[in-house]
Amino acid sequence: MSDMTGKVALITGASSGIGRATAEAFAAKGARVVLAARRQDELASLVTEIEARGGKATAVKTDVSAPKDVERMVAHAMETFGRIDYAVNNAGIEGQWASITELAEDDWDRVLDINLKGTFLCLKYEARAMLAGGHGGAIVNIGSVNSFLGFGTGSAYVASKHGLIGLTTSVSAELAPQGIRVNIVCPGFVDTPMHRRARGIVGDDLYDKGVLPSVHLRRAGHPEEIARAIVFLCSDEASYITGTTLTPDGGYTLTV
């Protein structure tokens, strides 16, 4: 895969799970990384780990649902490294699982504000920086298999993830003529803190007997496997790919 030495990658939701693995994957390719999330201690720990391996990293506390935070995040990246070549909009929450008749409006708003509005805000300021730099770039939004599959009690999460596909294809069409590619990765079941919380709700027995048999590979994915797909979409090897949905799900969506 392309050498990314000298390039700059911005990753939201970088404190754990897929975001953390993606930051490590970019750093391993030589990119300088900007880590954004709400949990400062976890970000600081990751900066230390990346720099101990010879990489370059910086962190900025960010709530992606807050416009000023997102604007400051992008400004921090530009002030620190002078450019943004790759952006991964990974920050997201699952919210409260609840029947549509019981789902609180505040819970709905919180999920949509972070997962969908947050991605819109990131795209807005990331694209501004890339356009000002004049060197193009690549952006990857992080959806889910729930970007096209619904499930009971998950209406807010599912709606937010469905929205990301429309947002991605629209922004791809807008920015492609200016050299910025925009794609979306929609992972299946991946062993992350969010996934483990969902598994706890479902129960190990039902998960092992009812969910995993629907995955062709009969296992959850690893964050590093999703990270490699994200880095690929940002690389020169993916130079003719934009507006595309990539679904690393172990074959799950082929069986439902």
Catalytic residue ranges: 157
Q: Is the dihedral of CA 62, 65, 68, 74 positive or negative?
A: positive
Q: For residue 249, what are its two tokens?
A: 């799900």
Residue 127 is inside which H or E element, if any?
A: helix 118-133
CA-based nearest residue to 187, from 256, 116, 117, 245 = 245
Instruction: Give strand ranges (E) for 207-246.
Output: 245-246
Q: How far apart are CA 165 and CA 161, in angstroms?
A: 7
CA-based nearest residue to 78, from 41, 126, 118, 144 = 126
For tokens 């296992």, the residue is 219
Q: How far apart are CA 151 and CA 136, in angstroms?
A: 38
